Amino acid sequence: MSKIFNVRLPDAAASPVYDPQKFNQLVRSLEQIVLQLNSTYNSTIDETTSGAQRWFGGAGAGGGFAGGVRGFQLSNGILLPHATLFSTVDQANAGITSENILTYNNIPITNGIRVVDNSKIYVPCAGNYLVTFTLQVTNRSNSTGEFEVWFKDTGVNVASSNTRFDVPSRKSATIWSHVVPAITGIFTITDPINSYLELAWWSDNIDVYLEQYPVNTAPNRPEIPSVIFTINFISAN
């Protein structure tokens, strides 16, 4: 904060009795302080709005996010790393003994978070991230299929992160069955430079896959992505 320059205040300890002259000196000193505050006093450059914005938006991992509790500073507050990812294509089952990696081909919203090779999600700083995803799981066969989905940390399965459920058999020869799992969890990143998050899935039925649907009519309805994935920074480690 900028300094306030003022004359020396009277020393009351030197005279324990009331002294009108020292009292008047104190009044004059206070008047000078008020005058400086009302006219010549200015905040230092570091405490201006632009200075605060530079502090919150200063260079850091991810090109603008400085880690910890700091983030991009807008007029309505701090903007923390986040992203929404879609897949607008079908994702087939590679085989009943194969692992399938979820991919994304549409990133409508992102701040500081990037996707590499359509599947690897990198964050700009260490911390805890809230992850939520929904899958449009479809079964076109006439038998029930098992389906599992789990997290991978830099190519390694995350312990106790798997979820399993059954996908009913199709309704008819032309109408498939559908299940939409919605899963939420907190994923911790300690090495944002080298670590990345992926999602993997498996099914014992080759006809179980992730399906997208285009825009439809009567009434007008938006397209259905095969995958919707969101990630939000919630706290430092």
What pLDDT was estimated at residue 101? 98
What pLDDT was estimated at residue 27? 77
What pLDDT was estimated at residue 32? 76
Query: Which CATH topology does 80-235 take?
Result: Jelly Rolls (2.60.120)
Residue ranges of the chain with pLDDT lower than 50? 1, 57-71, 74
Burial pattern 123-142, b for ≥16 Cβ within 10 A else e, equals: bbbbbebebebbbbbbbbee
What pLDDT was estimated at residue 22? 73
- Check whether the bond before 20 is cis (ω within 30° of 0): no
What pLDDT was estimated at residue 4? 61
What pLDDT was estimated at residue 201? 98
Smallest CA-to-CA distance from 53 within 41, 40, 66 is with 66
Single pTM value for the model: 0.69
d(CA 167, CA 146): 6
What pLDDT was estimated at residue 25? 77
What pLDDT was estimated at residue 61? 40
Sign of the dihedral defined by the CA atoms of residues 43, 45, 48, 52, in that order: negative
Residues 194, 199, 205, 208: what is their CA dihedral angle, to the nearest 10 degrees? Answer: -130
Q: Which helix (H) or strand (E) holds 224?
A: none
What pLDDT was estimated at residue 183? 95
Sign of the dihedral defined by the CA atoms of residues 28, 32, 34, 35, in that order: positive
